[in-house]
Each structure stands twice: as C-alpha cells, then as structure tokens.
Structure 1
Amino acid sequence: MHHPRVSVIVPAYNAMPELTECITSAMEQTIGLDALEIIAVNDGSTDGTGKELDRLAALCPSLRVIHQENSGTAAVPRNVALDVARGDYVFFLDSDDYLGPDALRRMVAMADENKTDIVLGKMVSVGGRAVPTAVFKNTQPRTDIFSSAAYRTLGCWKLFRRSLLERLNLRFPPFRNTEDKPFTAAAYLNADGISVVADYDCYYQRDRANGNNLTLTAQNLSHRMEGTRLCFETVARYLEPGPRRDQIMRRHVEWELCGPLWWLLLRESEEDIRERFYPEIRDWVENWVTDPVIEKLVPRDRLLLHLLRADRFDDVMTAIRNADEDAERGHVVDGGRVYWAHPFFRDTAVGVPDSAFDVTGRLPVRHRLDSASWQEGGVLRLTGHAYIEDVASLDPATELVLRRYDADDQEIRVPARVHAAAGIPDDELHADAGFVADIAVHTAAGGAALGRGRWNLFLDVRAQGVSRTVRLKSPESEPAPSQTIVTTGTGTPTTVTPYVTKWGNLSLDIGQEIPRDDTPGRVTGTSWHRSRKGTLVVTGELHGEGAEDVRALRLRAENAAGHRREAPASLIRSGGAFTAELPVKGLRPGRWTVTLSLSGSSPVAAVPYLTGLGRSRWFHIARPFSAGPVKKASETTLVLEVRAVDVPRAVRQKLRRVVRKVLV
C-alpha cells in the first residue's frame, strides 16, 4: 500500500449535484493519485450523495468512502476521516467547493521547501460567495500570524501538516457553526511557519444551488456561542497576556463577538438575550477584551463594548435597535478631534468616554493632484485640492510631506498655498480646499538639496485644528518628466524623476548624477569575492578621459545617516576595463547605497542591481552577519542590506534539513 503525501478529507451531506465536481477535482490533481488518498464521509445523506460517492470510488482506487448516520455538523465526519488519514499532509475540501488542478502539488511543494506546517492556497469566489483576499495579495514562502493577514481566515480549507494535528490531538468540536475556527486557531498558534500560495487559484468556494450550506442555515446566535467561547479560550491557552494576544484577540472581538451582536442578537427573544446570551457575552468582555483591543476597533464596536463593560443592558439593546439610524448621524469637531454625534455622546447618564466616539483617525482625506510641472530654478510645482471628509475647510493649512524611502526618520515639510477650489463635492463646505506646493529640490532640505534616493510624497491636510495625512496619488495628467538640476554649492548636475508607483502614488527619484565624459561608462558585473567573505566586487568599463585615470575612481557604500566606506578601482586591461573591491564586513546593520565616484567628489554613477547577486556571510567580532541586495529598494541603484544573523533560527533550520535527509 502506497504512503500518500496528502489526505483530502471531504465531509458530505446531501451534496448533490456539486459533489461530483468536488471529488473529480481532487481525483484530477497533477500531484497524481499515487500521492493522494481521498476520504469522503457520507454523513447520512438522503439525496443520492452516498450512491454517487460509491460510483466514483469504483473508478478511483485512491477514493475511500465512509457511510455513517447523520451528525448534523461537518465536524464529526471530518474527525472520522482524520482518525484514519495516513498522509503527510491533510487538506479539508468541502463538498460544494472544488480545487484548481495544480493546487495540491503547489501547496505540498511550498510546505516541503519551507518546512512550514500550514499552507494557504488562494481562494476564488464562485457565484459571489465572500472569500478572504488580504492574505492572498502576495505569495509568502514563510510567515506567521503576527506578520501577515493569515489569521483573518479561520476556515479549515487549508493544507495542514498531519503531525501538527496529531501532536496537538486536534479535532473539530461538534458545533453546527464556527466549528472550524477554534480548530484552525489552535493550529495557527502552534504552527512552525505558515506559507501562502497567492499566484495560483487553488480553492474555488461557492454556495450550493439549493442554499443548504451549513454556514447559511445555522445563522442564529445560539449556533455560534460555543464556537466563539472556544475561540477566546484557545487564544488565551496559547498566548500570554500582552500585545501579541491582543493582536489575535482583536480578530475574534470584531468578527465573532461584535459582528454577530449587531446583526444576529435581535433574532433572539428578549428573554433569551437577557437570561442566556447577555451574561456570557459580558463575561467574554470582562475576561478577554482589553483597552488596547478596544482602541483599534471602529467607533460603533467601541461603544458596544463600553456599554457591555458598564453592564447597561437596556442601552446595549437601544444601540443595536437604532444602529442603522445612528450610523447616519454627523460629526462634532472639538479640540482638534472629530467625534461621532451618537445620542450617547457625552451623555453623563450613560458614561461612555469620548474616545469611544473619536473618528478622527478614520475620516478619509479626499484629494486630487491635477498637475505636476517644472518651474524655473528646478522647482517642481504640484497643484490640486484636498480636504477631510465631513470637516469644513475652515482655517485650512495644507503641507506637502517628503519622506525618504530608506530612512524613516528623515522627513521634510513644504508649506502649500491654500486657495479656493471649485467643482468638488460639497464645494461650500470645502471652499478653500485648493493647494499649490512648490518643491525647490536644491534647497528643500533646510537650504540644502534633497538627498539621493527615493522620496515618497504625502499631504498633511488640516482644517479646524484637525490634521490628517495621506499618501499623494498620481496626477490626473502624466507626471512631469525627468529634470536635470544643478545642486547648489557643488555644481553637480542631478537627475530628478517624478514617477508613479505600482500603487498609483507619486514619488520622486532624486537620482544618480548624470555621467560626464570623465566618469564611468557602465557597470558590467557585481559579485561577492570568492575567498574574502563580505567583499563586494564591481567590474565595468570606463570611457573618455576617465579611462586614462582610473586611480581617481572609487567604489562607495553610503547609508541614510551619511556614513560611508570607499575602495579604489584598478585597471584590469587596456581600453578602460576596471574592477573595484569594497569590504562590506564591519559596516553597521542597515541599508547601504552603492555608487561610483571620482576621488573627493560626489557620486557620479550608480552601481545597478544586477540579477544573480546573492547574499554573502561572514563573522565579525565573533558574530555572524550577512549582506545581500534589496531588489526593489531603488529604481536605479544597488542597495545592500547588512544584518546580523539570527543564530538560533539558522541552527533550527539546519537541524531540520539534517533530520529530513536522515529520514529520507
């Protein structure tokens, strides 16, 4: 009997006609039937599901069918299948959904290569069913629940390493709804790494044509209480109190506590609410909802939780009954803050703090950049309008904010001229929303020129003492072309290029100075020295007068704080070919921009990022370090990142590789 790589588990109850496509999609996986076992559990179906499973099993030796009495929940058949599963991995596939043909091969390869315990495959909506999207913006070979959006999806439609489930003795609680959330939460909280496959449509999720999905039919609050309680208890079991627990608890407070209260509580009788649900919900709030969690929620959830904390049952019911009407109420501006004008705002009898109604940080900034054009003297002029939604443009004061991409602490502010704007929504409310901002590139940094590198542009929009900062979008027209500017003091010509990022925002590349006849012609190669660890080798060709005096050419690494290291170049053959070797060993951790310069001058040419330059590792003062290129740090220039090696993590990874080789 072959040993399967993956056990595909399919719980099935009255699953026709979608069941056929579901099972077929598992049978046709490119990973091959020899690597699969498909375990389908017929949970007492009455619509022909059992007969269809038996028919398919007769065609496929890798399909095993188990028939049992109806349990009323997907949890029980999943557990039955888990008890007999033999695969290295387990994948849970619902009977109304189906897989992309290459899904399991890709997910298993991702888990194998990165030694991760859970793999999320990109989910696709069929027929409008809601699916998670945030976590699937990018493929992530190895991540965790604290640095990714993985915890936003607690459905069990994922690849799990079976040894993780068995080590935890993890099974689904027998609930009709939310049975998979505590299961997935426990797996997440104990997983050694999570992977995300976002570049392939792995899992197609849909509602049944007959509308009898358990998720849709078990929609009362009573169906969710046990699962919600277990979610809170699971997080508390595996995480100590503190910021990490709060980060994870926030998801359950928003989605399992507050969300269902707003749209499900009133389906229950008031007697059940008062006697059965309300006391337990208050207990959850007392035990698991901290102030840092509340601070990060939307105002209406903050209000609800404060009312629950204060044990104001009648006010909770009033807030929920009037939720739609109250959502349309306006705002109050006071002391540079904006508050939701809810009837309970500053009601001393209710006693909810002002912070619960504070919406300042959530008000959108509406803005448009009409033009970006060059003026005389190397001045980039930006024109447009900007205003804070629902805040009248009284005493407006808008500033343009420039932030260096690779230096978080470097920020330059440019005051804008505010003027009347026409043709915008609520033009009376926002009459003075227009702005003109001039960036004098050669003097913007306190009389000095802007430093080399990429600068992101923001707008700080202010009115009535309220301040909101937003990333500046690209102009309606094409951005201004590159401009050559002579830097004050040095007389060095510099290229300044406005460009639009892939997210549609406007940035500036204060670029690499334009090569003159006596500067390097081009870089032909970058590599790490074969024997001297941590030494960068750059080769290239000189032209013009520069080819006659290679001794003046130097390879330079410089960070945002102005620290630098240089090394001379040497001629390797006639005709201007040169090489330069720069020791990176000993540089402080962080990002370093690599350029070529003439002795004693500003940089004159960029060293570009060339594909193939990997990482170099070395020891410095008995500590391991590494350096490697940051691929997207600059549009034009090689940026190296020096960092200390995490020794315990590196040792764990090496041990896992050794153990795996021994086992194989």
Structure 2
Amino acid sequence: MLPRTPRPGPRPRVSVIVPAHNAMPALTRALTSAMEQTIGIARLEIIAIDAGSTDGTAAELDRLAADCPALKVVRQEPGGGPGRPRNTGLDLARGEYVFFLDADGHLGPDALRRMVAMADQNGTDVVLGKMASPTGRGVPRAVFRHNQLRTDVLGSHAYSTLGPWKLFRRSLIERFHLRFPEDCRTDEDQPFTAAAYLNASAISVVADYDCYHLTRRGTTARNPARTGLTDRIDAIRLLFQTAARYTQPGPRRDHVMRRHIRRDLCGALRALPREDETEARTRFLPELRRWATDHCSDTLFRTLTAPERLMVHLLRTGRFDDLLTVIRAAKEDAGRGRLVEKGRVYWLHPFFRDPAADVPDDCFDVTDRLPVRHHLTGAAWCGGSTLRVRGRAEVKGLDAGPEDRTELVLRHRDAKDELCVPVTALDEEAAGGGTVNRDFAADIDIATADDGAPLRPGVWDVFLDVRAQGVSRTIRFGNRHDEGLDIGTARRVVAAGPGQRARVTPYFTTPYGNLSLDIGPAPRGAPCEVTEALWHPSDKGTLVVAGRLLPPGTPPRNRVLRLRAEHTDGRVLDHPVRYAAGHPAGAFTARLPVRDLARGRWTVTLALVGHGEGPPRAAPVPPPARLPGTRWVRRGRPDYAKPLTDRGETTLELRIAPVRLLAAVRNRLGGRI
C-alpha cells in the first residue's frame, strides 16, 4: 500500500528512507533520531517502508505517523531483500538529497544539517558522515581522520566504505537511474554506493561529528566469514560490473578494482573451504577466475600482498587443486620465515622455488610490504638557512648492520629531481648487537642542499630511505609525528645563495599528512618576515599579524611599516604596526579590522612606506595553514571573511561577502524558496 499523493508545498531538503522488517524495538529510536534533527522537521520527509513485519513494527509506524506529518508509511509484501523497500522509497522521494537510515541505526542530532551544509557549500554529490558504533561494530576510520570539502575515490579512503548510510544528491541518483538490486540476498547496497561514488562530481567528508550510529544487528549478514558464497556471489558480480562500467583502464580503475580484488574476490576464495567442493569447482571457481583475469591488471597485481598474489596467480592459471591446498593451509603458512637475498625479502611458503609448484618468485616477494616504523619528532631552524629535521625510523623485523643507514630523500614534485640528505644517528645501540639508526637528525641547508647549489623553487616531498641487511625501503615521512607538532612555525625567509633569499614553508599534505617543503622566491626587497596571522580571540572580525624586520633592527629613517589591505578595485588602506618593547630584532604586531572593510577581495601585505623614497617595499602576509573563516554582524546583517588560499605560496587574500539571507530565511522556514 502506497501513501496518498503528497500535498503540495516546498520541496524537502532531505528524504530519509527507512526500510523496516520486524525492526522493533530499535525502529523507534531510528525514526525519533530523524524527526529530532536540528535541520528542522519541516525540511524533511521521512519515508518508512514496512516489508510485511509481524512484530509490531506496523503499529509503531502508525503511532509515530499520527503525530508527525513528515513521516509517510508505505506497506509492501515481504521479499526482494532490503533493496526493494529502498527502491520504493527512492520512487517516492522528493527531497534534494536522500539519506538511507537503517531501522537498527540512528542519526546524531545535528547530522543532516552538517551534511547538507557540506554539500551545499562545496557542490558535492555524496557526503560521508562520520560513523560510530557504541556496541562495538566495526566502523571505517581512515576516511574520517579529518573533514574533506571536495575529494574523490582517488584522493580519499571513501571507497573503503560502501554502506548506504550517506547523503546522496537525488539528481545524481535519477540522472544515472541508480537503484538497489532486488535479487541480491546480501550486500545489495554496495553496487549502488559504488556507482554513486564513481559518477559523483565530488565527495565530501564530515569527520568532526558522529553523524551515524551503527549497532550489532545485521552484523552476521554482512560478515564474509559467516555468509555463504551463494548469498554473496550476485552482489560481488555486480560490484565488478559497476566498477568496469564507470571507469576506464588505468590508475583510477586499478584503484577501484584493488578494493574488489582484495576484499571481495580474495575474500570469496578464502571462503571456498566452507562450500561444497563440487559446487566450488563447477560454479564458483570458473567465475572467480574470469574476474581475476578480466579485472586484475599486472600493475594492480603487484600491489597485492604475497598471499593474495599467490592465490590470484593460481586462480588465473586454472590450478584449482593447488589453490584449494594453499587456502586450507593459509593460517599455518602465514607464520613461515623469510629469506633475505640480494636486497629482496621472500616469504618461505612451501611453494617457493618448488620445481613441482612452478610459481614465480614475484608471488613471494614481500620486500615492499615490510613495515617501516617511522616518526617525526621535530623540525626547526638551527642556522641561517638550515632546517633540522629529527625523527626515528627502522625496518620492522630486520636488524641493521654497520653498513646500513637511513637517508632523508627530497623529491621535487614537478621536476622529479631527487636529492639525498645524510642523517646523523642519535641512538646506535640495538638489542642483540649491530647498529640501528633509529633516532636521527638531518640538516637540510636550503642554500647548498643541491650539490652546493640552493634548492630550486617548488614543492619538495620528504621521504625516508631506510636500509637494513641490504634491503632498502623508501617511504613518505611525516604522517606519524609528535602530537601538537606545529610545522607551520618553521616557515621562514632564508638566504639561498649570494644576494638571494627564499621563502621556505614546511607543511603537512592533505589528506595523508606527509611532510613537504614549499620553496618560493622571497619578495624582492622584502622589509620584514611574517611569523603568525590569526583572528583576534575576543575582537571579532580583527586579523592579528605578527612578524619581524629584515634585516633585524629598526625601520629606515623616514619610512614606516604599515599593514596594508588592497581591494581589487585599487583602494588601499594602511594600518599601523606596534613594535615590541625595545624591539632589538624589530618584532612587531599589527591589527587589521576586517569587519570594517568593504565587501569584495582584499590582498594583505606589509609595506614600508615614506615620502620621497620611491615605491613602497612590500612583504606578503602568507595565509596560515589553519586560518578559518570568521563572521560578524554589520548594520544588522551578517558578513563573513574567508581566506582564498590554504598554503603559504601566495599573499593572503580575503573574500568579504554577506551571509546569504535566502539561506538564512530558508533555514527558518524549513523549505526551499
């Protein structure tokens, strides 16, 4: 039974779709969490589909709907799996966005408002809200390390979570006519979510708020170890078909397929011993072999773990007997030793170099999978142009010998130049003898690091080359560092050769948090260096800039330093600076009342101005890595200022504009205008 034709009115912002089958008592909490969203019930429609429940679900839905006009109840016969009621909800949905809420989950009170705001502000088609599980059910973590405004399946860990508990833009769903498969017994949500990811203009992540809470109910149905291949094979087939349909051969497809090869195909292989052997050989293995042959490129194959490479190789070559032998003995074989030979490390599996097995050595090579423990403990200037980087590194499981070492490696992101910086070991004693360069310091002299020449401008990514027993492992460095380490404090203008100066900005990359150095030319004749820029903690709308003179001392006679804001239309406003008492090094602070500036774009610099002394000498105010936007009320209307860059490679530019009144009115009225 479908609900009556909806009454005319403003289109809801979000349609919350809730399939329910014998869902009591958890259903009450799920629906209540939707009805109590801070976005406002007037901006929602909640569509609950009862698929033939017999436990009181129908009565509870009727009770809740009697007090909530936004709740629409649909009755349908059981069958079709969870995909069928979700599709019914999609056919009825009118919202700009859709959120799929399971009857055994619930929303955080502010979840939908935050996710809708993220999609609105960034024009994204899918928003992942952070998931939490008070009952201990596993939830993804890597994708929720920090907020991401606009990303995709390559730039984030979003593809690791294919559950439907996300905010989807409904126009995306309808443009590609995305629906849930109704003949899959389990995992029917994954092909739908995969298709949405791969066709989205961009993806956003809300990581600073628990948006969706999972419970243990349904865990068994989604656990590959407890679900037979008969129930899972259709969904896995659709996943491979979806990934192949919406990607072209190349890095993007390999990135997507890697998830399906590792988790779905290899997961299915590990489940084979629990299946009837005749059915495994005649039904499952031939289809799994086709997937391995069609969708696992040679490039992707090399990124798999050694046990996965061994299984896929035996599968692709049709050696089903050997494959089943390997799968059955996997737990015992996982603990076998390693062979270090000519700079490579091999897994000593019984098939390794067994003439009868005839398996290539590449299937057992674990060199690139050896874990490297590394930690960045500090980065600070220890001389005029020398940045000292301190850290710790070791190859787990291998003891370094006297001739082994660690080196810091700098790679230019565009020019592909590579430079090695020797390190000084700070702790050379290791248990059991030998030396291990665990704690080290490396001095990067910006003026001479390139074989006596200055580092060229551009971004240099920092790596570690860690060697032990002749084995070399090169890894990105910096994503593990001391808590509270503020790398931005190491930004500096330094000497970079005779008569030359360079601006050096260490920063952590997004989203992985690795260390990089951005090197650019210092402004010619810059009178000062900016050390900090932040919003005043109590004077709303006021920017505070701190710095020091270059060279240290006092400003030249007849010239004064001013904090300058310049509008794109040519208007210039100067504000005084205040020197520290005595200012032997010329340390100063200045305040810019941004709230008093006209709307538009303003560039912020520090200028040394005077009469009859030629043009002003200016220094940029580089935007801090974490300078947020700010808001204030001007003449009864809210305005905001927002930095237009997020790294120190350009002068700080602020956009000042009014907060959209239509959006504010819409928030109050609970609908679109």
1:354 and 2:390 correspond: no
Q: How far did 1:456 drift?
A: 6.8
Aligned-partner Cα distance in 1 for 2:553–2:516: 30
Which residue is 1:194 aligned to?
203
Which residue is 1:49 aligned to?
57
1:162 and 2:170 correspond: yes
CA contact (8 A) 1:542 1:577 kept: no
1:97 and 2:111 correspond: no
Pick from 463, 466, 469 the counterpart of residue 464 of structure 1.
469
Which residue is 2:274 aligned to?
267
Which residue is 2:44 aligned to?
36
Q: How far did 1:60 drift?
A: 1.0
Q: 491-500 vs 291-300, which deviates more?
A: 491-500
Q: How far did 1:464 drift?
A: 3.3
CA contact (8 A) 2:137 2:219 kept: no
Amino acid at match of 1:132: P
Whose relative contact order is higher, 1 or 2, with alpha carbons under 8 Å and at least 6 apart?
2
Amino acid at match of 1:352: V
Matches within 5 A, 1:388-427: 388-394=395-401, 396-401=403-408, 403=410, 409=416, 411-416=418-423, 421-422=428-429, 424=430, 427=431
Aligned-partner Cα distance in 2 for 1:227–1:291: 25
Aligned-partner Cα distance in 1 for 2:200–2:490: 49
Pick from 563, 568, 572 the counterpart of residue 524 of structure 1.
563
Which residue is 1:135 aligned to?
143
1:26 and 2:34 correspond: yes
Q: How far did 1:306 drift?
A: 0.5
Matches within 5 A, 1:530-541: 530=569
Which residue is 2:648 aligned to?
633
Which residue is 1:609 aligned to?
623
Which residue is 1:320 aligned to?
327
Percent pairwise identity = 49
1:122 and 2:137 correspond: no
Which residue is 2:295 aligned to?
288
Q: How far did 1:180 drift?
A: 0.7
Q: 335-344 vs 461-470, which deviates more?
A: 461-470
Helix, strand or coil for the counterpart of 2:214?
strand
Pick from 292, 301, 313 the counterpart of residue 308 of structure 2.
301
Aligned-partner Cα distance in 2 for 1:156–1:421: 51
Q: How far did 1:514 drift?
A: 5.1
Matches within 5 A, 1:463-542: 463-470=468-475, 471=477, 515-517=551-553, 524-527=563-566, 529-530=568-569
Pick from 51, 71, 78 the counterpart of residue 70 of structure 1.
78
Helix, strand or coil for the counterpart of 1:467?
strand
Task: Calculate the TM-score normalised by the size of structure 1.
Answer: 0.73
Aligned-partner Cα distance in 2 for 1:385–1:368: 5
Amino acid at match of 1:142: R
Amino acid at match of 1:183: F
Q: 342-351 vs 433-442, which deviates more?
A: 433-442
CA contact (8 A) 2:413 2:461 kept: no
Pick from 220, 223, 227 the counterpart of residue 235 of structure 2.
227
Aligned-partner Cα distance in 2 for 1:313–1:321: 12
Which residue is 2:283 aligned to?
276
CA contact (8 A) 2:426 2:441 kept: no
Q: How far did 1:181 drift?
A: 1.0
Which residue is 1:439 aligned to?
443
Aligned-partner Cα distance in 1 for 2:181–2:383: 71
1:184 and 2:193 correspond: yes
1:239 and 2:247 correspond: yes
Q: How far did 1:11 drift?
A: 0.8
CA contact (8 A) 1:418 1:436 kept: yes
Change (3 A) 1:454 1:607: farther
Aligned-partner Cα distance in 1 for 2:186–2:72: 26
Q: 328-337 vs 347-356, which deviates more?
A: 347-356
Helix, strand or coil for the counterpart of 1:260?
helix
Q: How far did 1:224 drift?
A: 0.8
Q: How far did 1:31 drift?
A: 2.1
Q: How far did 1:404 drift?
A: 7.5
**CA deviation vs aligned residue, 1:164-215 (integer Å, no higher than 9, x gap):** 323333221121211011111222222333232223321111113xx67643
1:58 and 2:66 correspond: yes
Pick from 89, 94, 117 the counterpart of residue 86 of structure 1.
94
Aligned-partner Cα distance in 2 for 1:105–1:461: 47
CA contact (8 A) 1:474 1:506 kept: no
Q: How far did 1:419 drift?
A: 9.2
Pick from 90, 93, 110 the counterpart of residue 118 of structure 2.
110
**CA deviation vs aligned residue, 1:275-298 (integer Å, no higher than 9, x gap):** 221111112112222112211222
Q: How far did 1:135 drift?
A: 2.4
Amino acid at match of 2:42: D
Note the residue ranges of structure 1 that are not aligned, 5 or more in a row.
545-566, 582-594, 596-605, 615-627, 641-662
Q: 97-106 vs 400-409, which deviates more?
A: 400-409
Aligned-partner Cα distance in 2 for 1:483–1:181: 45
**CA deviation vs aligned residue, 1:110-161 (integer Å, no higher than 9, x gap):** 3333333222222222211112222223323333323332222211111222
Amino acid at match of 2:563: T
Which residue is 1:345 aligned to?
352
Amino acid at match of 1:467: S
Amino acid at match of 1:311: G
Helix, strand or coil for the counterpart of 2:133?
strand
Which residue is 2:600 aligned to?
none
Aligned-partner Cα distance in 1 for 2:343–2:552: 53
Change (3 A) 1:573 1:96: farther
Change (3 A) 1:419 1:394: farther
Q: 188-197 vs 365-374, which deviates more?
A: 365-374
Aligned-partner Cα distance in 2 for 1:224–1:385: 44
Q: What is the count of residue pairs matched by the alignment?
A: 574
**CA deviation vs aligned residue, 1:461-512 (integer Å, no higher than 9, x gap):** 2233311234266689999999999969859999999999999988899996
Q: 386-395 vs 83-92, which deviates more?
A: 386-395
Pick from 158, 170, 177 the counterpart of residue 150 of structure 1.
158
Q: How far did 1:381 drift?
A: 7.7
Aligned-partner Cα distance in 2 for 1:483–1:67: 63
Change (3 A) 1:493 1:571: closer
